[in-house]
Structure 1
Amino acid sequence: MIEPGAATLPQLRALMQGAPAELTPGWRAVTQASADALARRLRTGEALYGVNTGFGKLASTRIAPDQLAKLQLNLLRSHAAGTGAFLPAPVVRLILALKAMSLARGASGVRPAVVDSLLALLAHDVLPAIPAKGSVGASGDLAPLAHLSLVLIGEGEAFAGDQVLDGTQALAMANVAPLELGPKEGLALLNGTQVSTAIALAGLFAAQDLLRTALMAGAMSVDAARGSDTPFDPRIHALRGQPGQIRAAATLRALMEGSAIRDSHREGDSRVQDPYCLRCQPQVAGACLDLLDNAAAVLLREANAVTDNPLVTADGDVLSGGNFHAEPVAFAADTIALAIAEIGAISERRIALLVDPVLSGLPAFLVAEGGINSGFMIAQVTAAAMVAENRALATPRSVDSLPTSANQEDHVSMATNAALRLAEMADNLATILSVELLCAAQGLDFHAPLRSSAAIEQAKSLVRGVAATWDGDRFMAPDMAAVKRLVQHGAFASLVDLPA
């Protein structure tokens, strides 16, 4: 069970993959108390933003008591102005769960029925159709959350598997009656950073798995190029003290432990030092690891946060603030993007080293009969193209801001844009790593009958299970696609034990 405000990263990852969202007991009472407190304040006749006033620039416009329900209904309809492709099912699952957990903390003034409706959709895997684009990451992820919320009132669209349902059908499948929105409930559903946070978390989880895969690919490349494991000596990294670097070095040491290829050239090797792409892996991967760890901490706090406005305190105060401003999410997403870009950049340099006979000592382009065969020549070019794309995509989004709502909302985070590009970057990185894994496996084949470590041989077997040794030119793309699928399914990441 998940305690609202205390979810863990493994729980959030499991929710994306379809785990049930069962909340710990007690949330219903605090949520009802918040709704009751708001009702009492509303009876005083004072102006409460978004409850009996308009929104944004229209906040000074008072709404008549008999129009309060219509105010919330109109809010959902008018703000459902998203565009673009629909968000993928795992992300929508997480959005539903994050919104339910936030409202269940009892600071948003909504009835328990609102949370129940969100959880019912999730339990039946009836997922609102949410266009990916249209949020600037301030005042909440308004447009995408409006598309989600329309389904709760029997409007909009949702998916049940591959079936597209209208809102009424979706609620029927989830055995839920359409919500009749109470005061503030439309605003509470729309306010919040749940969309940008869920998208960023999806990017984080992908980046974490890809970093583990990159460590495996990097270790394979070191052995394929007959490189040294001395740069992974713990004494080097202890003297610098960077935690990610220490962890990455320990992982690389463990992956190479017991390699007969490494043992074969401990003496008499004319190379004093390897190129940076081999030697500086702990420094680069470790810095990326530290970035991802920091982003994970920020996003975990955000996933557990209440980012609504106004907030209703336990003692009945109604506080207007700005928790909906997603600057922390934007910064976290931007740093994840930097990590993804750099993981790919150094991987491509290892690929370039392996195909270069001067640097690697291996046959040119990793094929025995060069000239008649081009081997991995253009696979390296494809990896370079992916690196170039990721460099462009890594440009920070958080430094951008466009005023909205007639300058009432005059500084925004662009967090949703920052998070959205992570999926494309992760896909590009998976391509780069698939090329490196193919090249490294090919390089290891040239050292037969010598074998690498048990861990590296296991990874090589995964590659060879879908792509045979390259003994002459053939259709390259299917091999790349097959290894990429393994990368994206976490097959190589699962072989890597990254110390805490």
Structure 2
Amino acid sequence: MHHQGNTSATLSELPKRSSQIIEIGRKPLTLTDIVRIAHGTPAALAPEVLASLERAYQRAEEISVRYPVYGRSTGVGANRLTPVNPEDSEHGMRLLRSHAADAGDPIPAPAVRAMLGIRLSQLAGGQSGINPEVALGLERMLQTNALPELRELGSIGTADLAALAGTALALTGERPTSTPFTPIGPFGMESALPFMSSSALTLARAALALDELRRLERSGRVIAALSALAVRANTQAFSRASAYAAASPGAALVAQQMRKLTKRTPVPARIQDPFGFRAYVPSQAAVVAAMDTLQLRVEQLSSVSQENPLFDFQHSRVIHHGNFHQVALGLAVDGLNLALAQSAPLIMSRINMLHEPAFNGVEPFLARGPAGSSGHMMIEYIAASAMGELRNAAQPASLGTVVLSRGAEEDASFATQAVVQLERAVKHYRPMLAVELLSAHRAAYQLGKWPPKILRGVVSRLHDELPITEADHDLRPDVEKAASLLDDLAEGVL
């Protein structure tokens, strides 16, 4: 296996959030690092990593002479007891070809780039015993944006074998890449299984879904504050005393931000509001805490060596284990999906308040015009439909199980499927927030509510980009426009 020069593709062809190069292996990857890599920021191995990988490769060769090594001196799965001829130079490539079976729709390029960055970070940990030329090839694939085509089906939360085997085939030139790529040499038996032993794609997809959700959730806080202004909600629910009484992670942050956004709002119209406002802090705090938990898991797993087997160089031995079984990751994703689902009825509660004369002080559904005008009636159905999708996505994937490979693998975390459900949940969280934004904006306008200083820039932007049309009209463009504003609605505010 040998290292080739760069192809004609350049980093200038990539969309970037920052031109600063991310050095992989010097420190653990953060969620921000992963997202930046996904969207085109250059990444490269820290200079000292290659020498460390070379030393690990040599020591792994020495240890493997003394001990049997799964996937290197044996077959895999149900073939784990079958010895492999040490002179069999094709074993590694046969293993990759047989494991590169995937199906379904292609994985989007940002997720593939994030996967490459995560896998490079994990390999930099140096316990795989992999040939350093593989890491160099992976680095060059990322730098030239020569991406393999990966499909959505093939992982069950016990390593993304198909995706990484397919990536390996692309590295060796047996599968095409999105831009020209000069292939590396064939994988030997020392590198094939270690390269596949990772949940890097599942982690990449989780990271990107979480990044989008964090932006939406922060914007949701701004929208809830606009709704509170429109219906003169009782802001006692956001007080320090209330947050302390919630006694839950995230409650202090959520309450503090809501106090900031609703400062100097009108005298409340009610002693107690429906749960959309009264229970907002504990409900949304659960979402924030679940996001924090998932981020911790993603960041930890993105820079740790979990290859099975892994080399314990301190004690000169090889360790066979089951840490590829991503139980904690799956539970963290399931927990976030459940937290989102439980928050959805409170969004519906606020939408219903905005549309109800007893709370908004104007016409039903914020309608204006001839008798019988529908106003925002039908966008309630959009929100309710999206809420149904959130509930469907919250069915815990971790409850599933399966027996594969003639019983050699008798369970699965299904963390990958939980992440797919998170992607679906985030997709449908967006239109729920868009509907609340539309109605809060229209209600405040009809009532002539002047927002507190902190929200004036948001309201001014809404008037410019989402002008009020009170006569009944096609609301699809309004919903789509509102949804497009959500990614940065909270910037400069929170």
Residue 279 of structure 1, CA deviation: 1.8
Task: Please show how residues 366-381 of structure 1 align to structure 2 within 5 Å.
Answer: 366-369=366-369, 371-381=371-381
Q: Which moved more, 1:411-420 or 1:348-357?
A: 348-357
Cα contact 1:118–1:152 (8 A) shared by 2: yes
Task: Please show how residues 64-463 of structure 1 align to structure 2 within 5 Å.
Answer: 64-67=85-88, 69-138=89-158, 140-160=159-179, 170-172=180-182, 177-258=183-264, 262-263=265-266, 265=267, 269=269, 271-315=270-314, 316-369=316-369, 371-448=371-448, 450-463=449-462
Equivalent position to 1:7, from 29, 42, 59 = 29
Residue 41 of structure 1, CA deviation: 2.9
Cα contact 1:277–1:350 (8 A) shared by 2: yes
- Which amino acid in the other structure matches residue 70 of structure 2? Y
- Once the two structures are superposed, what CA deviation does each residue of 1:198-256 show, in whole Å capped at 9, x if it has no partner? 11112211221121011111111111112121211112222443341111011011112
Distance 2:405 2:370 in 1: 63
- Give 4+ residue runs of structure 1 displaced > 4 Å after superposition: none
What SS is found at the alignment partner of 2:423? helix
Distance 1:2 1:445 in 2: 50
Distance 1:285 1:211 in 2: 9
Distance 1:370 1:101 in 2: 63
Cα contact 2:24–2:120 (8 A) shared by 1: no
List alignment gaps of at least 5 residues for structure 1. Answer: 161-169
Equivalent position to 1:40, from 32, 44, 62 = 62
Cα RMSD for the two superposed structures: 1.7
1:473 aligns with 472
- Which amino acid in the other structure matches residue 483 of structure 1? A
Distance 1:3 1:87 in 2: 26
Equivalent position to 2:50, from 13, 17, 28 = 28
Distance 1:479 1:319 in 2: 57
Residue 90 of structure 1, CA deviation: 1.4
Cα contact 1:306–1:323 (8 A) shared by 2: no
Residue 372 of structure 1, CA deviation: 4.2
- Which amino acid in the other structure matches residue 341 of structure 2? A
- Which amino acid in the other structure matches residue 199 of structure 2? T
Cα contact 1:229–1:253 (8 A) shared by 2: yes
- Once the two structures are superposed, what CA deviation does each residue of 1:137-159 show, in whole Å capped at 9, x if it has no partner? 11x11112222221111122332
What SS is found at the alignment partner of 1:341? helix
Percent identity, aligned pairs only? 27
Distance 1:343 1:179 in 2: 51
- Once the two structures are superposed, what CA deviation does each residue of 1:361-390 show, in whole Å capped at 9, x if it has no partner? 232111223644211111011100000111
- Note closer, same or farther for the CA distance 1:250–1:92 as it changes in structure 2 (3 Å cut): same
Equivalent position to 1:52, from 66, 73, 87 = 73
Cα contact 1:34–1:313 (8 A) shared by 2: no
- TM-score (norm: length of structure 1): 0.90
Distance 2:99 2:26 in 1: 27
Q: Which moved more, 1:434-443 or 1:289-298?
A: 289-298
Distance 2:130 2:211 in 1: 31
Cα contact 1:299–1:329 (8 A) shared by 2: yes
Cα contact 1:292–1:339 (8 A) shared by 2: no
Cα contact 1:231–1:279 (8 A) shared by 2: yes
Residue 4 of structure 1, CA deviation: 5.2
Distance 2:154 2:27 in 1: 27
What SS is found at the alignment partner of 1:192? coil
Residue 10 of structure 1, CA deviation: 2.0
- Which amino acid in the other structure matches residue 56 of structure 1? G
List alignment gaps of at least 5 residues for structure 2. Answer: 1-22
What SS is found at the alignment partner of 1:445? helix
Residue 178 of structure 1, CA deviation: 2.3
1:164 aligns with none
- Which amino acid in the other structure matches residue 83 of structure 1? A
What SS is found at the alignment partner of 1:96? helix
Query: Aligned residue pairs: how many?
Result: 471
Distance 1:247 1:346 in 2: 19
What SS is found at the alignment partner of 1:126? coil
Distance 1:421 1:147 in 2: 24
Distance 2:370 2:458 in 1: 26
What SS is found at the alignment partner of 2:111? helix
Distance 1:305 1:371 in 2: 64
What SS is found at the alignment partner of 1:494? coil
- Once the two structures are superposed, what CA deviation does each residue of 1:66-108 show, in whole Å capped at 9, x if it has no partner? 21x3111011111111111111111111100111111111100
- Which amino acid in the other structure matches residue 98 of structure 2? S
- Which amino acid in the other structure matches residue 453 of structure 1? P
Residue 345 of structure 1, CA deviation: 3.0
Residue 312 of structure 1, CA deviation: 1.3
